[in-house]
Structure 1
Amino acid sequence: MSTHFFGEGNIGSAPDYREFANGNDEPRRLLRLNVYFDNPVPMKDGTFEDRGGFWAPVELWHREAEHWSTLYQKGMRVLVEGRTVRDEWEDADENERVTFKIEARRVGILPYRVEGVTLGAKGQAMEQPHDE
């Protein structure tokens, strides 16, 4: 079961990069992000209250995943497009578990919490998150 997903949220921890052998072909590369997708609701006093936000693992399979693992950082605001996928597994006690993850097609960095961007040679960029 899957459905189209489009959401905005914050990266909650350092990105997790992994490579998987693929026979004689180039290895498959995975970048996993842990993202909190919030639901800010405006209040009468001008502030916002988060109602119904959720954490979700975001998986981005791409040959550039290793490079991007240094680009994405904890606290960054991102826009994720992809699909939700039901993931069934067993825990250590052999209990069946069901979670949902997002298989991303695109993960865009939003300008919130970024102080500046330094562009290098083609395909290289350095993001500097702003601490709040």
Structure 2
Amino acid sequence: MSTHFIGEGNIGSVPDYREFPNGNEEPRRLLRLNVYFDNPIPKKDGEFEDRGGFWAPVELWHRDADHWKALYQKGMRVLVEGRAVREEWEDAEENERVTFKIEARRVAILPYRLDSVLLSTKPTSSEAGQSNVGSHG
């Protein structure tokens, strides 16, 4: 079972990058982020109280995941869009457990807690491929 998900939260640990063999093809690349999706409620004093937040693993499968592992950092505020996937499993004592993970389509970095942003002038491999689409030469 899965459902569309959009949530804002903080990356809680160093991103985990993995590659998986894919026969003779390029390996499949996974970047896993551990994100706390909070629910900030404003209080009368101008502060916020978190009510009902939750932790969820966010999986981002993409060929640029290796490059992005250095971009996403612990403590960063992110906006995640994807689908929430329910997983049923048994623990070591054979108790049934249910957890949710987010299979991300997009993970946007929000400008909170950033000192600066450095933009690359060199296009990434995916951008370079897109710029050639539809050109004739």
Please confirm whether the aligned pair reaches a TM-score higher than 0.5, indicating the same fold. Answer: yes
Q: Deviations over 1:93-130 (max 9, x none)?
A: 34332100000000000000010011232239xxxxxx
Name whichever structure is richer in strand by fraction.
1
Where structure 1 has 5 or more consecutive residues not aligned to the other structure, the ranges are 125-132
1:67 equivalent in structure 2: 67
Q: Secondary structure at the match of 2:41?
A: strand
2:106 equivalent in structure 1: 106
Sequence identity percentage: 81
1:21 equivalent in structure 2: 21
Q: How many residues align?
A: 124
Alignment of 1:114-125 (within 5 A): 114-120=114-120, 121-123=122-124
Where structure 2 has 5 or more consecutive residues not aligned to the other structure, the ranges are 126-137
Name whichever structure is richer in helix by fraction.
2
Higher mean displacement: 103-112 or 88-97: 88-97
Separation of aligned partners in 1, 2:62 and 2:70: 14
Structure number, greater radius of gyration: 2
Alignment of 1:27-106 (within 5 A): 27-106=27-106
CA RMSD, Structure 1 to Structure 2 (Å): 1.4
Could you state the TM-score of these two structures normalised by the residue count of structure 2?
A: 0.86
Q: Secondary structure at the match of 1:22?
A: coil
